[in-house]
Structure 1
Amino acid sequence: MAVDIRVPVLVQDPVASGERSLPRMEWVRLRGEDVVLDGPVSPRVAVLDLDAITGRLKRGARYQPPVRDGEPGTFRLQDPERLDAADVIQVSVFGAVLRTLEMFEEDDALGRRVRWAFEGSQLLVVPRAGEWANAFYQRESRSLQFFSFRHRLPNGREERIYTCQSQDIIAHETAHAVLDGIAPDLYHALSPQAVALHEAVADLTAALAAFRCRPLVRQVLKEQGGSIARSGAFSAIGEQFGKALGHEKGHLRDLHNEKTLRPIEGGRPEDVVTSVEPHALSEVLSGALYGVMLRLHEALKDEFALKPQARTSLVAPAETARHALPPEDAPEPPLEYRDYVSDEAWQEARRRMSGKALAVAASRFKRSLYRGLDYLPPGEVSFADLGRAILAADQASHPDSGEQRTWLCQEFVRRGIVRHERELRVRTDFEHRALDGVDMDTLVKSDWAAYAFANRHRGFLRIPRGVSFHIAPRLVVEKLYYGATGGQRTRRIRECLFKVSWKVDEPDTLPGSGLPEWRQVTFGTTLAIDCETRRVRVLLTSDRHLTRKADRDGMVRWLMEEDLLRVGEDALGPDGRPLCGTIRGEVSDGILRVVGTAHMLHLTEQRRFARGGG
């Protein structure tokens, strides 16, 4: 039987913790794995700590089983305060990875154990993979790899920076692995927004992990008067890393931004993103979504300052009830009347309620984002595709609480992701004759039945005529849904995720590139079905707008200019194996297929760092 474990996890990286006068470690209790062994090793995550000199595997941290039933297991650490000790590094990384997985898997998020995109059940985690200022997830090696590098201090001394000591970096890279399992086509996507989507979700996951760190939340809310917008503690990605590399702002990226795809009235020209580079482009999407999170937090502070429950149009009563704070964090009773108190008393009441508001807001934001990933269609997707998927998932789970959906639409228009809010509209919760009489168990279990269903209903699923298609294994998930207006109840709904994808050949319009005249890209449809009623939760097909084709032209051009795209034998090393730092192009019958564009998703852009930048 699985047991819980209690492990230390770094609050932030050592520099950020010191600057904010935070404790360096937080001991957290995590839901038990089926088995936990020395290493640490579990059936899903295995830490492989390598000796920097010999390259051999270091001895793993020793697991200590619980003494009594109901108690958590733990690991024997010689000195928990010594952050560079091998056993502390091994256990803290293991804990941070599992904590991130737990966030995705909770019953009010994905509601299931995550699956990897590679064969096998175990993600390998290498906390000290070598000398390099980077970290990355790699499907081919089934691993997360964290590197370290030397940094010269102003006094002339050197210090070693471990990327595995930044909890936002660990959460970021773990999110790449999780998202690869949910939407594996993104690993080979050629659309810039599809690749940047990966980066944005990983950055937002880092912020969500920080919102769960109680010492950090207490300190920031106390120092910032209950605001999360005035501190980079949650929004800044890679603070120690960015400072060491000399980034102007002292971090790699900031989710609290005004990045946009087209100029904003009164905005700064430098906020307009024209690059197809994934890290730069991702800030438009992450900034838009993080802006919704900030707005929700501020609105909930207003609500909770006056009454125990927020208005139903903002959050369902059951959402608030789910997040009772521990006694030491419980706020004082709310005010009775806003009109009869001073501004000072009002702001103090809002500050007292900021912790409760943050717990509810972060949970709602996590739920909508991660469930939106489930609804994301296969293949070449856009930011707008994710927006539609989030809106559909949130509408299904919170039909009476739609203010955040309005804010999301406004942000996507304001930042130029879509021109009009109507582009984000999607039909949800409807009946369709294609599902009349369908045996759901057979549809889920039988590949033949699934193929026959898709072939019979090509028009409904938007599969082009005459093309072959691929049916992904059907996924039946049980998710927590929130009750109707005024209700405290929650419901568990079983739904089937039916995903079909197909290949399309499109012309390559880059004269003189030396590439084939045609390239192959993938599109697809996600159909979410209520298993009990056979009603359609949502039907979403990946974006095939002409502007997306132009974006892919731009991506190919950029890959060629950066010497990242290698075709045929040029993509292989002396040992005949694919080079890790390049994107591979395969040519068959005069058609180009691009493989592994996710190799660009290192923590920091490889080419800029190689040229001495960040």
Structure 2
Amino acid sequence: MLDIPRPTFRPLRIYATDPARGYKAARTATITVENEELSAGPIGARLEVVDYDAERDLFYDAVNLNDPSILMQSGLPPSEADPHFHQQMVYAIASRTLTNFDRALGRRVSLRKGEFRHKLRLLPHAFEGENAFYDHDLNAILFGYFTADPAAPGPNIPNQTIFTCLSHDIIVHEMTHAIVDHLRRYFLEPSNVDVLAFHEGFSDLVALLQHFSYRDLLIDEIRVGRGDILDGSLLVNLAKQFGEATGTGKALRSAIDTATPDPRRYGNLTEPHARGAILVAAVFDGFLTTFRSRIADLVRIATGGSGRLPPGELHPDLVARIASEAAQTAQRQLNMCIRAFDYLPPVDITFGDYLRALVTADFELDPDDAWGQRAALIEGFRRRGIYPEGATSLAEESLRWPAAEPGAAPMVDSLSTILPQLLQREAARFTKVSSDPGIAKQSRERPPSLSEDLNESNASETVKTMREALVSYAQNNSAALKLTGRPDVWVSAFNAVFRVAPSGALQIELVAQFVETDKTTSDDPEFGGVPVRGGTTAIIGVDGHVRYIIAKPLPSPTLDQAGKARADARVAGQRAFVEQLDGADARTNYLDRSDYGQRMAARMNLRALHEGAE
């Protein structure tokens, strides 16, 4: 009997664009997702589709993607009317999004929450309403459905049922919210004006850049736009059917702001979606600049050096080459955007912090940057008035996080043999996956499970011991790590990271997040239920030495004069931000004492935030 290896990937069909004009006009695609063990639902290791319709109080039958008749046709054919396809659609897109994060981060992202909720739940028909949202407490994404506006339905039929679970962009957006919440649990706490805007903008970025992985869609749009990806609205607009069906006459959001960006918008806008759109435009601006540089030689060859394309259809080979450059540039940009998470502080994120993390993380993996993608990103941020705190200029070397100063003892001295054991175990897993010819491709596309989530109550004894050792290390090296030395310092995450650089070199790092809370602010009504937190992300090399200390410190006597000033300013800034939102919210003066004390915590709700999206 033949020993046939299990395929690494499973093909599934999806709507690559919203089905606004029916099946024939909608763009469909067949994508590959991780070929994991699935039960009916589909239910896998990290994702669980539960198709309960609360409006009708019924469960739809669960699709079995292992059914031979379904396997033979690469999944069910796209259909607006078939709940089974809806289940396939949300699973396929969510799984594809997870794969992008796994690959860029160099580890498998955990979606567990607590002892019993081991999977992220996806509910395709959760409720009736013009919304879809990630719920932190339920560890679930709930998709709504609604009827198109009878007077202004766009290309939809008046009163047609619109399913948000059929929108690629909405699925990716909400899935990204869920992943970000698991990677940085405090990025839902609005400690400054950028925090929730970052959540929204980053989720849009992932959806936009993932558009470029669908080859047929990309080729069609480049052919229609004659090489200009901005001419085709499908690549640069988000949730087109949703926006049109609600009567706005346009897509929900776009990657493009204006031909001439206005830096004053960043200083004036506070609504999270509008502010997040500035981040999207800055990153997408960098992508466009790099993409145009990469196809400049193709355009010169095709036009004989004139730069003016002749009228008529472009040659199919030229279209294919341009599409290939667009896809590669977008994938690298997406990897950059995701990889930056390991170089972000654990609390109080700002757009400037994100730019510094983007530049540092990409430099660490690819110092050469042959296409100037980092420089293009920096320029996109500069054009919109986004300047990182602490940077002396917008030169790349100034924007990179400074290397850690000597002071912290090597981690191996404090962790004894635990750290080497963890590295040896994870390196063995990585080597096994990389060297096995049957799954060689998998080593680049889908990293193994590299470390256990410290938030799981059933974590292994090794990881629990590691966590205790990290707490002890942080307390003994608090000044070097820019921590206060509080005994209740919390290790919110710890990961071993394995990445392959473009040169082929294997990069191994340890990333630890330490968080502290000023408990005197927890019940202070001035802060509205969101306490002041500080924290440090430490990037540690395989030799045990701390390479980067990325800190948002609390006020502490151990800080130098400049550090004390920044810490004091951050606390004052959080208080001022609460006052600013209070002044813009007419309900503030009518809240009772309990609600008033928790008003900022209430503003963290993604469901309410999405209901107010513009």
Give the TM-score of the pair, scaled to structure 2: 0.77
> Could you list the per-position Cα deviations for residues 500-525 of structure 1 after superposition, in whole angstroms to 9, with x for gaps in the alignment?
111236889xxxx9757996211211
Residue 286 of structure 2 contacts residue 373 of structure 2 at CA under 8 Å; is this kept in 1?
yes
Q: What amino acid is aligned across from residue 297 of structure 1 in structure 2?
A: F
Query: In structure 2, what is the equivalent of residue 413 of structure 1?
Result: 382
Report the CA distance between 1:12 and its aligned residue.
0.8
2-side partners of 1:269 and 1:285: how far apart? 12
Kindly report which structure 2 residues correspond to 1:461-480, keeping only aligned pairs within 5 A, or say none.
461-464=481-484, 468-480=488-500
Report the CA distance between 1:232 and its aligned residue.
2.7
1:539 aligns with 2:549: yes
Report the CA distance between 1:101 and its aligned residue.
1.0
Residue 22 of structure 1 contacts residue 216 of structure 1 at CA under 8 Å; is this kept in 2?
no
> Could you list the per-position Cα deviations for residues 161-193 of structure 1 after superposition, in whole angstroms to 9, with x for gaps in the alignment?
111111011011101111111111112242221
Q: What amino acid is aligned across from residue 472 of structure 1 in structure 2?
A: S
Query: In structure 1, what is the equivalent of residue 418 of structure 2?
Result: 442
Report the CA distance between 1:353 and its aligned residue.
3.1
1:31 aligns with 2:34: yes
Report the CA distance between 1:499 and its aligned residue.
1.2
Kindly report which structure 2 residues correspond to 1:418-437, keeping only aligned pairs within 5 A, or say none.
418=387, 420-421=393-394, 424-428=399-403, 434-435=409-410
1:170 aligns with 2:190: no
1-side partners of 2:589 and 2:52: how far apart? 31
2-side partners of 1:564 and 1:607: how far apart? 17
Query: In structure 1, what is the equivalent of residue 533 of structure 2?
Result: 522
1:393 aligns with 2:361: yes
Classify 1:356/1:537 alpha carbon distance in 2 versus 1 (closer, same or farther; 3 Å). Answer: farther
Give the secondary-structure state (helix, strand or coil) at the position aligned to 1:451.
helix
> Could you list the per-position Cα deviations for residues 48-89 of structure 1 after superposition, in whole angstroms to 9, with x for gaps in the alignment?
11246531211111232569xxx9687874xx3532211111
> Could you list the per-position Cα deviations for residues 10-57 of structure 1 after superposition, in whole angstroms to 9, with x for gaps in the alignment?
111111787xx7554322221212x20112111211111124653121
Report the CA distance between 1:600 and its aligned residue.
3.5
Classify 1:294/1:429 alpha carbon distance in 2 versus 1 (closer, same or farther; 3 Å). Answer: farther
Kindly report which structure 2 residues correspond to 1:110-509, keeping only aligned pairs within 5 A, or say none.
110-116=105-111, 118-119=113-114, 120-154=117-151, 157-247=158-248, 250-258=250-258, 271=265, 274-303=268-297, 341-344=305-308, 353-401=321-369, 403-418=372-387, 420-421=393-394, 424-428=399-403, 434-435=409-410, 438=413, 442-443=418-419, 445=463, 446-464=466-484, 468-483=488-503, 490-504=504-518
1:11 aligns with 2:16: yes
Report the CA distance between 1:567 and its aligned residue.
8.0
1-side partners of 2:394 and 2:21: how far apart? 39
Give the secondary-structure state (helix, strand or coil) at the position aligned to 1:421.
coil
Residue 62 of structure 1 contacts residue 76 of structure 1 at CA under 8 Å; is this kept in 2?
no
Q: What amino acid is aligned across from residue 599 of structure 1 in structure 2?
A: N
Classify 1:522/1:150 alpha carbon distance in 2 versus 1 (closer, same or farther; 3 Å). Answer: same
Q: What amino acid is aligned across from residue 533 of structure 2 in structure 1?
A: T
Residue 40 of structure 1 contacts residue 62 of structure 1 at CA under 8 Å; is this kept in 2?
yes
1-side partners of 2:241 and 2:364: how far apart? 40
Classify 1:353/1:456 alpha carbon distance in 2 versus 1 (closer, same or farther; 3 Å). Answer: same
Q: Please, what is the CA RMSD of the aligned residues? A: 3.6
1:599 aligns with 2:605: yes
Q: What amino acid is aligned across from residue 195 of structure 1 in structure 2?
A: L
Classify 1:518/1:600 alpha carbon distance in 2 versus 1 (closer, same or farther; 3 Å). Answer: closer
Query: In structure 2, what is the equivalent of residue 262 of structure 1?
Result: none
1-side partners of 2:330 and 2:491: how far apart? 34
2-side partners of 1:99 and 1:371: how far apart? 16
1-side partners of 2:53 and 2:601: how far apart? 32
Q: What amino acid is aligned across from residue 89 of structure 1 in structure 2?
A: H
Residue 431 of structure 1 contacts residue 534 of structure 1 at CA under 8 Å; is this kept in 2?
no
Q: Which moved more, 1:230-239 or 1:177-186?
A: 230-239
Give the secondary-structure state (helix, strand or coil) at the position aligned to 1:391.
helix
Give the secondary-structure state (helix, strand or coil) at the position aligned to 2:160.
strand
Query: In structure 1, what is the equivalent of residue 454 of structure 2?
Result: none
Residue 495 of structure 1 contacts residue 530 of structure 1 at CA under 8 Å; is this kept in 2?
yes
Report the CA distance between 1:296 and its aligned residue.
1.1
Residue 262 of structure 2 contacts residue 384 of structure 2 at CA under 8 Å; is this kept in 1?
no
Q: What amino acid is aligned across from residue 255 of structure 1 in structure 2?
A: A
Q: Which moved more, 1:519-528 or 1:210-219?
A: 519-528
Larger relative helix fraction: 2
Residue 112 of structure 2 contacts residue 119 of structure 2 at CA under 8 Å; is this kept in 1?
no
Report the CA distance between 1:270 and its aligned residue.
8.9
Q: What amino acid is aligned across from residue 525 of structure 1 in structure 2?
A: T
Query: In structure 1, what is the equivalent of residue 425 of structure 2?
Result: none
Q: What amino acid is aligned across from residue 13 of structure 1 in structure 2?
A: D
Kindly report which structure 2 residues correspond to 1:32-111, keeping only aligned pairs within 5 A, or say none.
32-33=35-36, 35-51=37-53, 54-64=56-66, 77=76, 80-106=77-103, 109-111=104-106
Stretches of structure 1 lacking an aligned partner (at least 5 in a row)? 260-265, 307-333, 484-489, 572-583, 587-592, 609-613
Residue 213 of structure 2 contacts residue 331 of structure 2 at CA under 8 Å; is this kept in 1?
no
> Could you list the per-position Cα deviations for residues 400-428 of structure 1 after superposition, in whole angstroms to 9, with x for gaps in the alignment?
11722223223323312217426734225
Residue 29 of structure 1 contacts residue 72 of structure 1 at CA under 8 Å; is this kept in 2?
no
2-side partners of 1:494 and 1:566: how far apart? 54
Q: What is the aligned length?
A: 532
2-side partners of 1:95 and 1:456: how far apart? 46
Classify 1:244/1:354 alpha carbon distance in 2 versus 1 (closer, same or farther; 3 Å). Answer: same
Residue 236 of structure 1 contacts residue 255 of structure 1 at CA under 8 Å; is this kept in 2?
yes
Residue 475 of structure 2 contacts residue 485 of structure 2 at CA under 8 Å; is this kept in 1?
no
Residue 51 of structure 1 contacts residue 57 of structure 1 at CA under 8 Å; is this kept in 2?
yes
1-side partners of 2:380 and 2:121: how far apart? 38
Classify 1:159/1:16 alpha carbon distance in 2 versus 1 (closer, same or farther; 3 Å). Answer: closer
Classify 1:388/1:382 alpha carbon distance in 2 versus 1 (closer, same or farther; 3 Å). Answer: same
Identical amino acids, percent of aligned pairs: 23
Residue 187 of structure 1 contacts residue 195 of structure 1 at CA under 8 Å; is this kept in 2?
yes
Q: What amino acid is aligned across from residue 14 of structure 1 in structure 2?
A: P
Residue 471 of structure 1 contacts residue 499 of structure 1 at CA under 8 Å; is this kept in 2?
yes
1-side partners of 2:278 and 2:25: how far apart? 31
1-side partners of 2:93 and 2:159: how far apart? 27
Classify 1:273/1:379 alpha carbon distance in 2 versus 1 (closer, same or farther; 3 Å). Answer: same
Larger relative strand fraction: 1
Q: What amino acid is aligned across from residue 256 of structure 2 in structure 1?
A: H
Residue 384 of structure 1 contacts residue 424 of structure 1 at CA under 8 Å; is this kept in 2?
no
Q: What amino acid is aligned across from residue 28 of structure 1 in structure 2?
A: I
Q: What amino acid is aligned across from residue 327 of structure 2 in structure 1?
A: A
Report the CA distance between 1:289 and its aligned residue.
0.9
Classify 1:194/1:152 alpha carbon distance in 2 versus 1 (closer, same or farther; 3 Å). Answer: closer
Report the CA distance between 1:389 and its aligned residue.
1.0
Stretches of structure 2 lacking an aligned partner (at least 5 in a row)? 1-5, 423-462, 554-565
Give the secondary-structure state (helix, strand or coil) at the position aligned to 1:42.
coil
